[in-house]
Amino acid sequence: MFRYLHFFLILLLPGILNAQTLGIRKYSNEFLTIGASPRGMAMANSIVASVDDVTSSYYNPAGLALMNHTMQFSFMHSEYFGGITSYDYAAAAFKLDRMSALGISFVRFGADNIPNTYDLVDQNGAINYDNVTNFSVANYALILSYGRKFNEMARYHGYLIRYGGSVKIVRNTVGPFANSWGFGVDAAVQVQVDDHSTIGILLKDASNTFNAWNFTFTDAQKNVLLQTGNDIPVHSTEITLPRLIIGGNRTYNLNKEFSLMGEADMDITFDGRRNVLMATEPISFDPHIGLEAAYKKTICLRLGFGNFQYYTDDNPDNKKVFGFSPSIGLGLMFKKLTLDYALTNLGSTSPGLYSHIVGLRLTIDRAKKH
C-alpha cells in the first residue's frame, strides 16, 4: 500500500514546486469542494474510503469499481445564502464489466438574476431603469471518471485494491463580461484492508488545474470601471494546486439488522496557510469526520463534523474561539430508489447559514437472460 502512496506523492511534487515559484491565487475552483451528495455532505464529505456508488465519480473514482448494478443515476439540489445561490449536481455511472465502471458528473454553482447597472446612467446623465438587465455568475464542471479493480481476491499482500481517475473540464462565466475554461485530472485508489476496513486516497488536480480567463467590456463599461477606481482586466490565469485527501473507514455490524460505519478523512492542501485546524506554510491539514448508522440497509442516519478552525468572536477583545460545523442527514432506500437529505452549510461556523439538501439516486439493472 505504501508504494501507492509514494506514487501519489511523486505526482504531487510538481504542483508543490510550482507553488513556491509562481504567484498562485488561492481558492480557485473551490466550488468543486462543496460535495456532491446529501449522504457525503451529511457526513462532512468524509466518504473518500467508503463511497461505492455513482457519486464515486466525484468523491473517489476508484469506488466506481464496486458498483454492482448495470447503471445508476444521481441528482441533487441545494440553495445557499438565503436562496441567492443554487448548487446542482447530476451524475450517471455505467458498469462496463465485473472489474470496471464508467462515470460522468455535471456540477453547477451559480447566482442568477444579478442586476447589471453599467448602463443605468445614460450619456445625458439621466437615470434610465430600462437599461438595467440581468446576468448570472456561474461555475460549471463536467467530470469523466473511470474505476477498476486491481484484483478480485486478496492476492496482493492480503489487500483488495481499486484504482481510478477523472478528467474534468471547468467553465466559469460572469455574465457577458468574463469567462474561463479549465482542465484538470484527478487520481484515486481504495485499499480494502479486510471485510470491515478500507483506506481511500484521492489526489485532486494531480497535474494542477488551469483556468484561462478572458474579459469583454464595452468602451462605456471601461469608463465606468476607470471612474470608480477599478482596473480593467484583459487576460488572467488561475492555477488550482493539488489537494490530497486521505481517509479510512471502519464498519461495525452490531447484529443482523443494525450496522455502524465511521470514517475520518484529512484534506491536505499545498497553497499556503489556511484557516484550518492544523496550518503551516505551505501545507495545511483539514480533518473531518463522518458517521452512518443503518437499519437493514433501508434507513440511514448520518452525522458529520468538519470545518474545524479558530475564528474571532464578536467580543471587544477579539478573542479567538474554536469552532466547527456539524451536519446531519437521513437516507431512505425504496428498492431501486434512494432519497437522501442533509442539513449542512458551506463551511461557516455561523448557525444561521445552514441549508437543506435533497438528492435522489436511481438504480437500474439489466434483465437477466434465461
Q: Using a CB cutoff of 8 Å and minimum separation of 24, what contacts does 336-343 make?
A: 336/362, 336/363, 336/364, 336/365, 337/361, 337/362, 337/363, 338/362, 338/363, 340/37, 340/38, 340/39, 340/42, 341/38, 341/42, 342/38, 342/39, 342/41, 342/42, 342/302, 343/42
Flag whether pLDDT at 100 surpasses 80.
Answer: yes
**Residue 250 confidence (pLDDT):** 97
Flag whether pLDDT at 83 surpasses 90.
Answer: no
What's the rounded mean pLDDT across residues 49-63? 96
Flag whether pLDDT at 6 surpasses 90.
Answer: no
Report which of residues 171 and 215 the model is more confident about.
171
Beta bridge partners of 265: 247, 288
- pTM of structure: 0.85
**Residue 127 confidence (pLDDT):** 80
Bond preceding residue 176 cis, omega within 30 of 0: no
**Residue 1 confidence (pLDDT):** 42
One-letter amino acid for residue 227 of the chain: Q
CA distances from residue 331 to 153, 197, 291 in whole angstroms, order as listed: 31, 22, 13
What's the rounded mean pLDDT across residues 296-302? 93
**Residue 314 confidence (pLDDT):** 67
Contact 237, 210 (CB under 8 A): yes
- Say how many C-beta atoms besides its own lie within 10 A of residue 316's C-beta: 6
Tell me the percentage of the chain whose pLDDT exceeds 90: 54
What's the rounded mean pLDDT across residues 84-104? 95
**Residue 228 confidence (pLDDT):** 77
Report which of residues 317 and 172 the model is more confident about.
172
**Residue 252 confidence (pLDDT):** 94
- Say how many C-beta atoms besides its own lie within 10 A of residue 9's C-beta: 12
Handedness of CA 354, 309, 15, 148 (dihedral sign): negative
Kindly give, in sequence order, each residue whose CB lies less than 8 Å from that of residue 72, ignoring residues fewer than 6 positions away.
53, 54, 92, 93, 361, 362, 363, 364
pLDDT-derived band at 315 (thresholds 50, 70, 90) equals low
**Residue 342 confidence (pLDDT):** 96
pLDDT tens readout for residues 19-30: 433 444 556 788
pLDDT tens readout for residues 140-164: 999 999 999 998 776 667 789 999 9
Flag whether pLDDT at 88 surpasses 50.
Answer: yes
**Residue 203 confidence (pLDDT):** 96
pLDDT-derived band at 321 (thresholds 50, 70, 90) equals confident
Tell me the percentage of the chain whose pLDDT exceeds 70: 88
C-alpha cell at 352: 444561521
Instruction: Please state the separation of Cα 239 from the chain's center in Å.
Output: 17
C-alpha cell at 358: 435533497
What's the rounded mean pLDDT across residues 323-332? 93
pLDDT tens readout for residues 242-275: 999 999 999 999 898 999 999 999 999 988 888 8
Flag whether pLDDT at 192 surpasses 60.
Answer: yes
pLDDT-derived band at 316 (thresholds 50, 70, 90) equals low
pLDDT tens readout for residues 8-55: 333 334 443 344 334 445 567 889 999 999 999 999 999 999 999 999
Report which of residues 17 and 301 the model is more confident about.
301
Report which of residues 179 and 272 the model is more confident about.
179
Average model confidence (pLDDT) for the chain?
A: 85
Which region among 180-189, 221-230, 268-277 has the lowest average model confidence (pLDDT)?
221-230
pLDDT tens readout for residues 200-218: 999 999 988 888 888 888 7
**Residue 146 confidence (pLDDT):** 98
One-letter amino acid for residue 185 of the chain: V
**Residue 7 confidence (pLDDT):** 38
Nearest to 264 by CA among 197, 216, 188, 215: 197
C-alpha cell at 24: 498562485
